[in-house]
Amino acid sequence: MREITARLSALPPALRSAALAWVRPEAELGPELARWSDLTSSRSERVATNAFHLRGLPYFAKDLFDVAGAPTRAGSSFLADVRPTPGDSALVRHLRELGAALAGKTHLVEFAAGLTGENRTYGDCPHPFFADRLAGGSSSGSAALVAAGVVPFALGTDTGGSVRVPAAFCGVFGFRLTPGDAFVRDAFPLSPTCDTAGWFTARARDLATLNRALVGPAAPATHEPRGVFLRARDLLATADAEIDDACALAAARFAAPADTATRDALLAAWAKAVDAYVTVVTHEAFEIHERWLEPFRDRYDPAIWQRFTNAGRSTTPAQLAEAHATFASVRASFAAFFRDYDFLVLPCAPVPALTKAQCTPEMRRALLTFTAPASLGAFPVLTIPVPLPSGLTGGLQVIAPRVDSPAFEWILK
């Protein structure tokens, strides 16, 4: 516990305040960590050598997961006042059974409704190594603390890219599960149709072991996994050239470039993916928040309040039906793709970590252009960091049809 406290104290004050939502009292965490201290002196080695337990490993959880005795604020100023914490979430309970020790909870974009790491109540979460840039979101605090070396892993959620984008921006590995599974059903929701649980690690082998512990072993492989990749500028012509080149080079190590027919078929099916995502997610968010929007208007981030409220006032049944038809079309495109391939690789974002000035509605749409297809497809995604010549990082998202796809372990080796 002293080591974690020292690492937290060493963080820049702006990062510490923007990332930490709640720290577990030393009187509770210390004995739990000490119980496993005889296993090995290296926490990272524990992840690598204990495939089906995580004994003595400290971690942080995004503040959408309930923890008994701690408030769940979801990055807001009022949720804890209107919603009691019912007890530990399923994922927190399961990690305790595996021997992991919860060290605290992390801040996020308010109500998980954003990809940049901004939060007007607790502060925008800075990048751990580039103070003029942001960590990304909405799982900003979790990604930043793992990147900063405070803990070996942390929990996040991913609705429209909230594991993938901060993992890419902060240079860590990430994994998102699928909507509706037991690990996300009792987290505070943004959109039940698209919400998934996920996590971050700093190293590939740590993520492989964490996946085995929480998801189970990969399905037996009958052949070497086969996949293809799309370039950043296939998805968005204005994507950063450094991102485009670095991600293509990194992807080529384990996948081939998509042929023209495959690329064009996927891009055509995804043409309306961002609009469909926004329609469904904001409508479901309105339904969740409807009873609070007026009484607590002044305590919402104005942009998020406007987004949620507009969905309730203006979304028509016809628009929802069209959006759901697009979801079905995107899923059909992936079904056709996965008849021939085991995985698809895309860059996570068209740019590296953002400055505050770059956090515009247009940038949000650009980020969703990269992340929405897998969200509509409801697929698990592995995120791999990609170093850039500038010292910043990008990321690759590896999309596969099942959480136990052998492609994930194969790529992480």
| Residue 50, pLDDT score | 45
153 phi/psi in degrees, rounded to 5:
-155, 160
**Mean pLDDT of the residues in the chain:** 94
Phi-psi domain of 87 (left: phi exceeds 0; alpha: psi -120 through 50; beta: other): left
pLDDT at 36 over 90: no
pLDDT band at 46 (very low <50, low <70, confident <90, very high): very low
- Spatial separation of the C-alpha atoms in residues 279 and 261, rounded to whole Å: 29
- The DSSP line for 177-224 is --TT-HHHHTSPPS-TTT-EEEEEESSHHHHHHHHHHHT-SPPPPSS-
Q: Which domains does the chain have, with CATH numbers?
A: 1-252+342-413 (3.90.1300.10)
Residue 190's Cβ-count burial label (10 Å; 0-12, 13-18, 19+) is buried
- Spatial separation of the C-alpha atoms in residues 325 and 62, rounded to whole Å: 32
pLDDT band at 149 (very low <50, low <70, confident <90, very high): very high
- Spatial separation of the C-alpha atoms in residues 398 and 345, rounded to whole Å: 5
Task: Please give the average per-residue pLDDT across 22-45, as a whole number.
Answer: 68
Residue type, 205: R
pLDDT band at 37 (very low <50, low <70, confident <90, very high): low
Task: Please give the average per-residue pLDDT across 193-222, as a whole number.
Answer: 96
pLDDT digits (tens, 9 = 90+) for 325-344: 999 999 999 999 999 999 99
Q: What angle is formed at CA 55 by the lines to CA 53 and CA 57, rounded to 5 degrees?
A: 115
| Residue 170, pLDDT score | 98
- Spatial separation of the C-alpha atoms in residues 179 and 380, rounded to whole Å: 9
Residue type, 167: A
| Residue % of the chain over a pLDDT of 90 | 90
- 344 bridge partner residues: 228, 399
- Spatial separation of the C-alpha atoms in residues 204 and 173, rounded to whole Å: 7
pLDDT digits (tens, 9 = 90+) for 274-308: 999 999 999 999 999 999 999 999 999 999 999 99
pLDDT digits (tens, 9 = 90+) for 226-246: 999 999 999 999 999 999 999
pLDDT band at 317 (very low <50, low <70, confident <90, very high): very high
- Spatial separation of the C-alpha atoms in residues 126 and 403, rounded to whole Å: 31
Element (H, E) at 412: helix 406-412
| Residue 85, pLDDT score | 87
- Spatial separation of the C-alpha atoms in residues 70 and 72, rounded to whole Å: 7
Q: Which residue has the higher pLDDT, 382 or 56?
A: 382
| Residue 51, pLDDT score | 41
Task: Please give the average per-residue pLDDT across 355-365, as a whole number.
Answer: 98
pLDDT at 32 over 80: no
Task: Please give the average per-residue pLDDT across 124-137, as a whole number.
Answer: 98
- Spatial separation of the C-alpha atoms in residues 316 and 376, rounded to whole Å: 20
| Residue 30, pLDDT score | 77
343 phi/psi in degrees, rounded to 5:
-160, 160
Task: Please give the average per-residue pLDDT across 73-97, as a whole number.
Answer: 96
Give residue for tokens 């039940």: 192
Which CA distances in Å does 162 have to 42, 301, 367?
29, 18, 11
246 neighbors 387 (Cβ within 8 angstroms): yes
pLDDT digits (tens, 9 = 90+) for 5-20: 999 999 999 999 999 9
- Spatial separation of the C-alpha atoms in residues 86 and 233, rounded to whole Å: 46
- Spatial separation of the C-alpha atoms in residues 216 and 260, rounded to whole Å: 36
| Residue 354, pLDDT score | 98
Q: Which residue has the higher pLDDT, 30 or 410?
A: 410
Cis amide linkage into residue 142, ω under 30° from 0: no
199 phi/psi in degrees, rounded to 5:
-160, 165
Q: What is the CA radius of gyration of the chain?
A: 20
pLDDT band at 40 (very low <50, low <70, confident <90, very high): very low
68 neighbors 110 (Cβ within 8 angstroms): no
Phi-psi domain of 322 (left: phi exceeds 0; alpha: psi -120 through 50; beta: other): alpha
